[in-house]
């Protein structure tokens, strides 16, 4: 299913046998909103292996961006652990965590606000090198020029300020900054959703190329299924801060198990405009994350829900097919299929 990234040099080692670079265990994040507690992320567990691209999908408010910030310790979790290459991030000193940031980077959704408007983009690309390496100024400049070339940003832009560049160019700057120290993990928080459609393809191609050449692991957060499908090895589907399904991209896209995943996939337009549309439009509203339902979080909108679905939270269990897990009690009796 990796339409672009399938000539991966690291495919020598099968994904499942590679060392985990990032592990999130029982991750919980609650926000205090005027006395009430907003449950943004609830007991989330997942692993990203070396060089693996994990696509994280869900509607807005599903907690995907919060997870992106938690795994980089840009936000502090309420409970649970994030382990990066064997190191528990919460146990690190500020200094050790800062040093570790050379190995884990992020690209934000909105490149206009992610860059310092008063610093030349060349300086911003070189900033991680300044912070994490002992390179001399001229060595840094050479590296910055090579990075610019790699993200296809003309070198003449390097001395300019962000206001003088377009959105696509700015996102290339952000990507160059993120890969400057050759990190092992890059979190991409909706890196294309604030860009024009015409610019998007270029950025995606660039990401696929980087993945091929650098073998960097990525957590690709997006609500755009088409984008995620294009680039991911594995998919995590979130609903209200909880993982409802997780598995290889081909399986999750080809035969989604959880009713929510099925509905989500059916809402995505197929590339062929003449293909018959088989959609299931979900009824009702997403429940409030302040007042989470007791049982399955999706039960209130699920067309195949049984009364017992609202009794207790279904565990994320293996479905029997190759490394796929889903949290739906109806998979066991085969009643999880939506009539599309």
Reported for 8-14, long-range contacts at CB under 8 A and 24+ positions apart, including other chains, are: 8/51, 8/211, 8/212, 8/215, 9/212, 9/213, 9/215, 10/50, 10/51, 10/215
Task: Give the range of 138-146, 238-246, 262-270, 304-312 binding another protein by CB under 8 A.
Answer: 138-146
Q: How far apart are CA 279 and CA 328, in angstroms?
A: 20
Judged by CB under 8 A, does residue 120 bind another protein?
yes
Return the residues of window 36-75 that contact another protein according to CB under 8 A. 69, 72, 74
Contact 173, 125 (CB under 8 A): yes
Judged by CB under 8 A, does residue 250 bind another protein?
no
Judged by CB under 8 A, does residue 132 bind another protein?
yes
Q: How far apart are CA 57 and CA 161, in angstroms?
A: 33
Number of residues that bind another protein (CB under 8 A): 40
Nearer to another protein, 122 or 247 (CB): 122
Nearer to another protein, 51 or 126 (CB): 126
Judged by CB under 8 A, does residue 93 bind another protein?
no
Q: How far apart are CA 44 and CA 41, in angstroms?
A: 7
Judged by CB under 8 A, does residue 115 bind another protein?
yes
Nearer to another protein, 1 or 75 (CB): 75
Binding test (CB under 8 A) with another protein, winner from 22, 114, 210, 302: 114
Judged by CB under 8 A, does residue 126 bind another protein?
yes
Binding letters toward another protein, positions 158-197, x by CB under 8 A: xx-x-xx---------x--x--------------------
Return the residues of window 321-340 that contact another protein according to CB under 8 A. none
Judged by CB under 8 A, does residue 79 bind another protein?
no
Q: What does each C-alpha distance from 35 to 31, 76, 290, 308, 326 come to in angstroms? A: 10, 19, 11, 31, 33
Nearer to another protein, 64 or 258 (CB): 64
Judged by CB under 8 A, does residue 150 bind another protein?
no
Q: What is the DSSP string of 59-104?
A: -TTSSHHHHHHHHTTSS--SEEEEEETTEEGGGS-HHHHHHHTTTE
Phi first, then psi: give them for residue 158, nearest 5 degrees. Answer: -60, -30
The tokens 């270029």 sit on which residue? 202
Task: Give the range of 119-127, 217-225, 274-282, 285-293 binding another protein by CB under 8 A.
Answer: 119-127
Nearer to another protein, 143 or 301 (CB): 143
Q: How far apart are CA 331 and CA 191, in angstroms?
A: 34
Q: CB atoms < 10 A from the CB of 18, how many?
A: 15
Nearer to another protein, 174 or 238 (CB): 174
Judged by CB under 8 A, does residue 106 bind another protein?
yes
Could you tell me the smallest distance in angstroms from the CB atom of residue 41 to another protein?
Answer: 17
Contact 159, 148 (CB under 8 A): no
Could you tell me the smallest distance in angstroms from the CB atom of residue 298 to another protein?
Answer: 31
Nearer to another protein, 144 or 305 (CB): 144
Q: What is the DSSP string of 123-134?
A: HHHHHHHHHH--
Give the ranges where the chain is alpha helix by DSSP (H).
64-71, 94-100, 111-114, 121-132, 137-150, 167-179, 197-214, 225-231, 249-254, 259-266
Which positions lie near another protein, rule CB under 8 A?
Answer: 69, 72, 74, 94, 98-99, 101-102, 105-106, 108, 110, 113-120, 122-123, 126-128, 130-132, 137-138, 140-141, 144, 158-159, 161, 163-164, 174, 177
């Amino acid at each position: 299913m990796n339409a672009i990234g399938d000539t991966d040099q690291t495919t020598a080692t099968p994904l499942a046998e590679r060392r985990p670079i990032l592990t999130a265990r029982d991750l919980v994040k609650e926000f205090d909103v005027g006395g009430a507690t907003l449950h943004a992320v609830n007991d989330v567990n997942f692993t990203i292996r070396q060089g693996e691209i994990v696509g994280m999908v869900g509607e807005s408010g599903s907690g995907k961006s919060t997870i992106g910030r938690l795994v980089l310790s840009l936000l502090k979790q309420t409970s649970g652990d994030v382990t990066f290459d064997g190191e528990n991030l919460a146990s690190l000193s500020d200094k050790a965590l800062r040093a570790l940031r050379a190995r884990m980077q992020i690209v934000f959704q909105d490149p206009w606000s992610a860059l310092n408007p008063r610093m030349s983009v060349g300086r911003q690309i070189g900033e991680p090198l300044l912070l994490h390496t002992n390179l001399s100024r001229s060595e840094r400049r050479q590296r910055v020029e090579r990075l610019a070339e790699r993200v296809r940003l003309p070198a003449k832009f390097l001395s300019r300020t962000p206001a003088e560049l377009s959105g696509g160019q700015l996102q290339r700057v952000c990507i160059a900054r993120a890969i400057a120290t050759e990190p092992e993990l890059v979190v991409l928080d909706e890196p294309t959703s604030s860009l024009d459609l015409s610019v998007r393809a270029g950025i995606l191609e660039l990401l696929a190329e980087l993945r091929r050449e650098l073998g960097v692991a990525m957590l690709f957060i997006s609500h755009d299924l088409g984008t995620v499908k294009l680039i991911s090895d594995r998919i995590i589907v979130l609903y209200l801060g909880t993982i409802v399904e997780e598995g290889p991209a081909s399986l999750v896209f080809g035969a989604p198990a959880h009713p929510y995943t099925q509905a989500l996939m059916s809402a995505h337009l197929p590339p062929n405009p003449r293909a018959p549309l088989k959609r299931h439009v979900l009824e009702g509203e997403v429940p409030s994350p302040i007042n989470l339902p007791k049982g399955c979080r999706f039960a209130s909108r699920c067309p195949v829900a049984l009364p017992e679905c609202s009794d207790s939270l279904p565990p994320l269990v293996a479905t029997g097919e190759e490394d796929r897990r889903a949290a739906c009690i109806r998979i066991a009796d085969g009643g999880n299929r939506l009539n599309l």
